[in-house]
Amino acid sequence: MTKDTTVLLNEKRIFNPNAETVEKANVKDWEAEIEKGKDFKRYWAEKAEQFHWFKKWDTVLDDSNKPFYKWFTGGRINLTYNAVDRWIKTEKRNQVAILYANENGDEKKVTYYELYLAVNKFANRLKNLGVKKGERVAMYLPMCPELLVAMLACAKIGAVHNVIYSGLSVGAVVERINDSKAKILVTADGTFRRGKVIELKKITDEALLRCPTVETTIVVEHTGTPIKTSDLSGKEIFYRRFMEKETAECEPEPMESEDPLFILYTSGSTGKPKGVLHTTAGYMVGVATTTRNIFDIHNDDLWWCTGDVGWITGHSYAVYGPLLLGTTTLIYEGAPDFPGPGIWWEIVEKYGVTKFYTSPTAIRHLMRYGNKYPNSYDLSSLKVLGTVGEPMNPEAWMWFYKNIGGEKAPIMDTWWQTETGMHLIAPLPSTALKPGSVTKPFPGIDADIVDEEGNSVPLGKGGYLVVRNPWPAMFRTLYKDKQRYLDTYWNKIPGVYTAGDMARRDEDGYFWIQGRSDDVLKIAGHRVGTAEVESAFVSHPAVAEAAVIGKSDPIKGQVIKAFVILKEGYKLKTRLMENQTKLIEDLERHLRYELGPVAVVGEIVQVDSLPKTRSGKIMRRVLRAQENGEDLGDTSTLED
C-alpha cells in the first residue's frame, strides 16, 4: 500500500464537471446537497417518499438501542412491489427491465411485465414449497435473469435470500448454506466462462452432501448441458417445470421496514465468513437514492453494472437500485476479454449503454490490451462512468476517462462495502474530480478519519476511516453473531462505525482510500480473508501450518502470498505419487476447490517457522513488512 500512497499524494490534477452534464443532472449543486444532508433524518425521510408504502413510517430513525439502529419504524412496504409491480401500471410496463447478454452473443430481454409474471410464479411456488416469511433461500447461479427473478420472488413474500457468488467453490458454498440454514437452493446446470461451461450443478451436488437443511433444489436449465439428477436435497425440480401452470397473481407481503431482506456473506479477519444482514426499507431508500444521484439516472438510460450479482455491488447496483428506479439493467455473463478484449466496448456500442459501472481491476486488465480496442467502437452514448472495489490508480483513471469516457463522462469512484449496503463516499456528476480520490461523503453521511482513540486526524495524515452517523442502508447485524458485529465494527473505536480501511483527506477535504487496515485481501476487487485461505491450506494433508499475506499485483491489486510449513517428508516441488502432479500444483488445485477462483495464488514458499506472538498468533504484520522491505516495527511481542 505504501507505494500507492506516495503516488496519490502527488496527484494534483482536477477535472471540473462539464456544463452540459451539470445542466441535465438530478443534483446540480453538490455542495448545496451536502449542506441539505446535514439534517440527515429529514434528508432520508424526504427520499423515502419516492416509494409506495402500504403504511407510512412513524419514526425515521430509532436510535434508542445503539448501534442496533432502526429506520422507518412502523412503516410497511414491499421491495418487489416498488421495483416491479409499481411499474406495470405505468408507461414502463413494456419497457425492458433486464437485458441479458453473454459471451456467445445470446441475448434475452425481459420487460417489466414479463418480470412481474415470472416473479409472481416463482413466489407462489416458493410458498407452495412451504417457504415462510423470514426463511432463507440460497442461490448459486450465474448472471442470468432467473437469479433476479428468484431474488425478487423472495423479497415479494418476505423470504430472505442468500446469494452465493458462482465463482466460489464447494467449501464456501457449504459454509454459507449451513450458516444460513437455507431450506431451498436455486442453482443452474452451469455458467459460460471463456468458451467453456463451468458445471455449477456438479459443485452443488458435492456441496449438498454436507448441507442437511436443504429440502428442495431448483435447477435452472441455463447452458443446455445435460443435467444429472441426484436428488441429494430430497427433491430436485427443473426451473421450467417449476414455473409451469403456476398462477401469475401474487399479493406482495406488507413487510415491516426492519424485516430482513437478505444475508450476504463476506470475508473478515477471522476464519468464518460473516453473514451481513440487510433489512427492507432503509436499504431501498439508500440504494435508490445513490443510484439516482451518483449515476444521474433518467428515463432514457441503459444502465450496466459489470459487478456480479453474487456480491454486494450486483445486489445494490445491478438489481435493486436500477429496478427501483424503473431503469433497464444490463447483466452480462462472461469475462471482460472473451472472445476478445473489445467485447465490453462492443456491447456498449451495440446497445447504447449510457451509464457504466465497473472495477479498477477490470480497467487495468483491459488497459493492458491498448487503446485500439475501445477506439474501434463508438462509445459516445456513455454519459457517466463509475468504479468500485479498490483504490483507483490515477493512471487507470486517466485511461478510463480518455478512452472510454471520451473526456466528457465523469468517473464516479465510489467507496462503500458489503456492510454499508450503499455508496457512502462518492462524487456526483456535478463534482470536480481528482483521479484516485473518492471525493467527499455522500449527502447525509458523516465520515471521518481518526486515530486509535477516535480523534480526527489533521488533513493530509492517514488514519482509520469511520462513519459518525447512521445511514438507512446500513447492515443491521451479522447473522446470528451480534457480538462479532459489535466487536468488529463498533467497539474498536467507541461511538462510530469502523470500516476497516485506512484513508487520508487532502487540503480540499477530499478522501483518498489507502487500503484495508485488517487481515482482509482485495484480490481483483473481491474480498478474501487471510484466515480463510490459511484454513484452506491447512486442510490439505501435506500442510502443517500456513500464513497468508497480500502481494501487490499490477492488475489484480493483490494476490495471495502463502508461507507454509509442510509436514515431515514433503517438499513443494516433489511429485505426489498418485497423480504425478507436484505438491505445489496440488496445493493450488486444492485452494481452488475449497475457495474457488477468487483465491488467486501468486506465490507459495516453504518455511520452517512462522513469526508468532507468545500466545501463538501468527504475526502477519511482520511477514508483510519483510515482504515490502519495511521496518519490522514493534516486535516485543514476537515469540522468536
Write out the three cell numbers for 387.
468504479
d(CA 73, CA 57): 5
| C-alpha closest to that of 353 among 296, 302, 291 | 302
Phi-psi region of 523 (alpha: psi -120 to 50; beta: other; left: phi over 0): beta
CB of 413 to ligand WTA, least distance (A): 5
d(CA 141, CA 197): 13
CB of 568 to ligand WTA, least distance (A): 39
CB of 51 to ligand WTA, least distance (A): 23
CB of 465 to ligand WTA, least distance (A): 8
The residue among 124 and 358 lying less far from ligand WTA, judged by its C-beta, is 358
The CB-based long-range contact list for 335-342 (8 Å cut-off, 24+ gap) reads: 335/103, 335/193, 335/194, 336/306, 336/362, 336/365, 336/366, 337/365, 337/366, 337/369, 338/103, 338/193, 338/194, 338/195, 339/103, 339/195, 340/373, 341/366, 341/369, 341/373, 342/373, 342/374, 342/376, 342/377
CB of 482 to ligand WTA, least distance (A): 20
Strand positions, DSSP E, 189-316:
191-193, 196-198, 216-220, 236-238, 255-256, 260-266, 274-279, 302-305
DSSP letter, residue 594: H
Phi, psi of 129 (to 5 degrees): -80, 0
Other C-beta atoms closer than 10 Å to the C-beta of 395 total 14
CB of 438 to ligand WTA, least distance (A): 5
| C-alpha closest to that of 282 among 70, 94, 578, 81 | 70
Burial 148-176 (b: 16+ CB within 10 A, else e): bbbbbbbbbbbbbbbbbbbbbbbbbbbbb
The residue among 166 and 266 lying less far from ligand WTA, judged by its C-beta, is 266
CB of 289 to ligand WTA, least distance (A): 16
Give the CA distances from residue 510 to residues 258, 389, 438, in Å, rounded to whole numbers and listed in that order. Answer: 33, 18, 7
Write out the three cell numbers for 355.
451509464
The residue among 165 and 537 lying less far from ligand WTA, judged by its C-beta, is 165
Chain residues in the site for ligand WTA (CB under 6 A): 266, 311-313, 388-391, 413-418, 438, 499-501, 513, 516, 522, 527
Write out the three cell numbers for 285.
431508500
The residue among 157 and 531 lying less far from ligand WTA, judged by its C-beta, is 531
Give the alpha-carbon dihedral of 290, 296, 302, 307, to 10 degrees: -40
**Grid cell 509436514 in the structure block, residue:** 567
* DSSP SS3 for 54: strand
Contact 348, 382 (CB under 8 A): yes
CB of 164 to ligand WTA, least distance (A): 14
199 CB-contact burial (10 Å; exposed 0-12 / middle 13-18 / buried 19+): middle
- DSSP string for residues in 60-87: EEE-TTTTS-EEEET-EE-HHHHHTGGG
Write out the three cell numbers for 504.
487520508
The residue among 7 and 32 lying less far from ligand WTA, judged by its C-beta, is 7
The residue among 513 and 566 lying less far from ligand WTA, judged by its C-beta, is 513
The residue among 233 and 514 lying less far from ligand WTA, judged by its C-beta, is 514
The residue among 327 and 414 lying less far from ligand WTA, judged by its C-beta, is 414
**CA R_g for the chain:** 24
CB of 558 to ligand WTA, least distance (A): 11
**Beta strand 463-467 pairing with 447-450:** antiparallel
CB of 507 to ligand WTA, least distance (A): 20
The residue among 96 and 261 lying less far from ligand WTA, judged by its C-beta, is 261
d(CA 444, CA 33): 9
CB of 341 to ligand WTA, least distance (A): 24
CA angle 406, 412, 417 (to 5 degrees): 145
CB of 8 to ligand WTA, least distance (A): 11
CB of 197 to ligand WTA, least distance (A): 27
CB of 528 to ligand WTA, least distance (A): 10
The residue among 191 and 414 lying less far from ligand WTA, judged by its C-beta, is 414
